[in-house]
Chains A and B, each alone.
Chain A
Amino acid sequence: MTRGKLIILILASALALSLGLWLGQRLIRPSVESPTISGIFLPEPKAIEDFTLSDQTGQPFHRDRFLGKWTFLYFGYTYCPDVCPLTLVELAKVQRQLARDNLDGDTAYMLISVDPERDTPQRLGEYTRYFNPKFTGATGAPEELNKLARQFGVIYMRAPDSENKANYSIDHSSTVILIDPHAHLHAIFTPPHKPETMVSDFRKIRGYHRSKNN
């Protein structure tokens, strides 16, 4: 072997080694395991398709509103006597814990009403504010509501025994949907909702998101 060939070989192996190390690092870092949460985590977040609802001030509410922050979405209605207040109380605890942990700067919390017939924007505003000053609400035409809800597998229907009553109740999924700052569906929290679990799950999700996007 000539001296020249030896140098080339050494250089080549050095290059291969550093390439290997670099690739290894790149591959190992993102393979930080995707977080296990109390619900469904989407390793490949799904872009949200546009929709048109109205928020609690009566302003149009579109997909763009999700950009730049993490949004917790819950589908329910204000006449719901039990499960919705229960979930909103838990979500309010999540908000306060995240605020204490300084993780609350870029979060939003929304109640999407599946009862546009009774839940006016004003009513939604009063109702959501009561649970937490950061909470907002939105609702809209049935087909627009469905456009949003079906993207998360959220379903709702009037209870069969109350179809003809003025005081009807609505069966609905009680999942909490997490939308990321790129307006992608990122995770679905399944009940029962425990604030401490949601907070730690959210931390994991954010950490993972950061490591993937750096």
Chain B
Amino acid sequence: MNIKLPALSLLLALSAPAFAADTATIKVDKPWARESPPTVTNGAAYMTLVNTGKEADRLVGASGEVSATVELHTHLMEDGVMKMRPIKAIEVNPGEPAVLRPGGLHIMLIGLKKPLMAGENFPLRLRFEKAGEIPVEVKVRKMESEDSAQQSHHPDHKAQ
């Protein structure tokens, strides 16, 4: 049985129902991607991963037909230089939602088969170490609507 922490209940109430069964301990909140600017063949998907269980879990991979390659990436700021690096896993601990957002953690889509158009969706399969595979529908949004996504949660404060 899941025991939902009170702190998470609001977050869960707001989140769109994930596609996983009710017993799953990972909820995927608002998966989205930016529409592709002209000529661009790389993209990124963002979302918030909430662990409603008691045990730590990790996102260890993602796949989909949307692009030739799908990788987990992070950004490191070193001496004012933004460095994007592939990573093996993203930790998703109970009470510490993992926020994938512009300028930080993201699922990188390399070699898009067609440009991402605002208003459309595409499927991705997320692979978790314990929760297994969770399919999500990623919503493509216009460039302009990024603020709301960035400011909707500030879980970083809780994580430390």
Contacts and interface: CB of A to CB of B under 8 A. Distances in A.
Given A82-B102, A131-B143, A172 B81 contact: yes
Contact of B39 (A126, A131, A153): A126
A123 interface: yes
Given A83-B103, A89-B143, A127 B37 contact: yes
A122 to B, nearest CB: 9
B85 interface: yes
A70 B111 CA distance: 37
Question: Max chain A CB contacts within 10 Å: which of B38, B82, B106?
Answer: B82
Query: How many of chain A's residues touch chain B, expressed as a range?
Result: 20 to 34
B82 A171 contact: yes
B89 interface: no
A159 interface: yes
A173 B81 contact: yes
A130 B38 contact: yes
A86 interface: yes
A52 interface: no
B82 A78 contact: no
Interface string A165-178: 00101011111000
Contacts of A208: none
B40 A82 contact: no
A82 B103 contact: yes
Interface string B106-137: 10111100000000000000000000000000
Question: Max chain B CB contacts within 10 Å: which of A82, A83, A156, A159?
Answer: A82
Interface string A132-170: 000000000000000000000101100101000001010
Contacts of A167: 42, 69, 110-111
Query: How many of chain B's residues touch chain A, expressed as a range?
Result: 20 to 34
A191 interface: yes
A207 interface: no
Contacts of B58: none
Nearest to B109: A81
A192 interface: yes
Contacts of B75: 82-83
Given A86-B102, A127-B39, A171 B146 contact: no
A37 B116 CA distance: 37
B39 A123 contact: yes
Interface of B: 34, 37-44, 69, 73, 75, 77, 80-86, 102-103, 106, 108-111, 143-144, 146
Given A78-B39, A161-B85, A174-B80, 7 more contacts: A81-B40, A81-B106, A81-B108, A83-B102, A85-B34, A127-B38, A192-B103
30 contacts: A78-B39, A79-B40, A79-B42, A81-B40, A81-B42, A81-B44, A81-B108, A82-B75, A82-B103, A86-B102, A89-B144, A89-B146, A123-B39, A126-B38, A126-B39, A127-B37, A127-B40, A131-B37, A153-B80, A167-B42, A169-B84, A171-B81, A171-B82, A172-B81, A172-B82, A173-B80, A173-B81, A174-B82, A191-B77, A191-B82
Interface of A: 78-83, 85-86, 89, 92, 123, 126-127, 130-131, 153, 155-156, 159, 161, 167, 169, 171-175, 190-192
